[in-house]
A = this chain, B = another copy of it.
Amino acid sequence: MSDAIALGPGREFDIIRELLRRWGPRASGVGDDAALVDVPAGERLVVSSDASVEHIHFERAWLTAHEIGYRATTAALSDLAAMAASPIGILMALGLPASWLDAVGELGDGIGEALDAARTTIRGGDISGASDLTLAVTVLGSAAAPLRRDAARLGDTVYVTGRLGGPGDALAAWQRGGVPVPGSRERFAHPVARITEALWLARSGARAAIDISDGLIADAQHLAAASGVRIEIDLDRIPLMEGVDARSASVSGEEYELIVCAAALNVTAFERANHLPITAVGRVIDHVPDGIGVTVRMNGERLAPAPGFRHFS
C-alpha cells in the first residue's frame, strides 16, 4: 500500500480504500489510470481475462463472499497455469450490486487469499455498480517458453492432474436442492491454480496443456481442435473424487486441474515434487479416419462422447 496513489473523495473510492487496507502489501501501485508492469527480460507477457458472474457461475447461497472472491481469482489464475506462466499480477473489474456492498471486505479477503496462494499481487482494477455480482479478473504472467494448446503430437500420452468430479458433484447437489458432500463442496469452493505444477511440467517434457474449466472431455476437444489431432480418453483411468463416477467426472467443469500432453512424464517425480497425483488417461492418435476430436473409451469399448459444460447450450 505504501506505493498506492492517494485517491479522491467518493463512495467508490471509499470501497477501494477499504479493499487496499485489507490487501496491504498484496496491492501494488494501485490508483493511477493504468498499472505499470515490468515483464522480465527475455520473457513474453501472458495475459488472460476471465469473468465470474452470479447466477451463471455461482449462487450466493452456495458460497461465502470470501470463497467467491477466492474462487473467481483462482479460476483466472488457472489460465496462467495452463500456459506454464509465472504470475506478475492481476487486475479486477468488480461489478458490485448494492446488496453486496456489506460483503465487499470479505470478497476482498478471498481475493487476497488467492493472491497469496499464487504469490502474486493486485495491480489495478475498476469498481462499478451491477445487477449481479461480477468479478472480471485479468491475470498477467510471463513465460520464456509457454505451454500452448496447439502443440499436442501423435503418440503423446495425455495426463490429468489431481482427482476429478468434485465441482460437478457439488453443482449437481445444489441444482437438485440438496447439500454437496464436504469433499465435493471443497473442490468447488477452493480450487487450486496449478501454477507450480505447470512450471514443473514445462521443465520436464510437457508439450501442450489446457486447464479444465469446461470438463475433461470438452477441454480435451479444445486441445484436439487446436492441435489438429484426435485424443482418446479412457474413462476407467480417470482419477476420481470419492463418490463420483467416471462419466460424471469426465464432464465436471471448473476443476482447474491440468490436461497435459507429453511423449512421456516421470509420474513418480511429479508426485513427489508436487504432492499431487498425475494420471495417464489417454493418448493422442491420428485424426484419420475419425477426424479431429475426442474418442471416449470405457473398459476398452468405444462410447459416444458426452457433452461438456457450455454456457449457451
Contacts and interface: CB of A to CB of B under 8 A. Distances in A.
Interface of A: 5-12, 14-15, 31-39, 44-51, 53, 55-57, 79-80, 82-83, 85, 91-93, 95, 101, 123-132, 134, 136, 138-141, 146, 148-150, 209-211, 214, 218, 221-222, 224-226, 228, 292, 308, 310-313
18 contacts: A6-B226, A9-B225, A10-B313, A14-B312, A32-B83, A36-B44, A36-B45, A37-B45, A39-B39, A47-B138, A49-B124, A50-B126, A53-B134, A93-B138, A95-B136, A130-B132, A131-B131, A134-B136
A48 B36 contact: no
- The DSSP consensus for interface residues of chain A is mixed
B48 A45 contact: no
A148 B251 CA distance: 48
Q: Which of A93, A101, A141, A308 has the most CB of B within 10 A?
A: A93
Nearest to A85: B34
A49 B136 contact: yes
A38 B34 contact: no
Contact of A308 (B10, B95, B129): B10
A35 B49 CA distance: 9
B47 A128 contact: no
Nearest to A48: B34
Which of A31, A32, A55, A218 counts the most chain B CB atoms within 10 A? A32
Given A48-B91, A93-B50, A15 B312 contact: yes
A138 B132 CA distance: 20
Contact of A37 (B47, B53, B129, B308): B47
Nearest to A143: B36
A128 B51 contact: yes
Given A6-B226, A8-B221, A123 B51 contact: no
Contacts of A15: 312
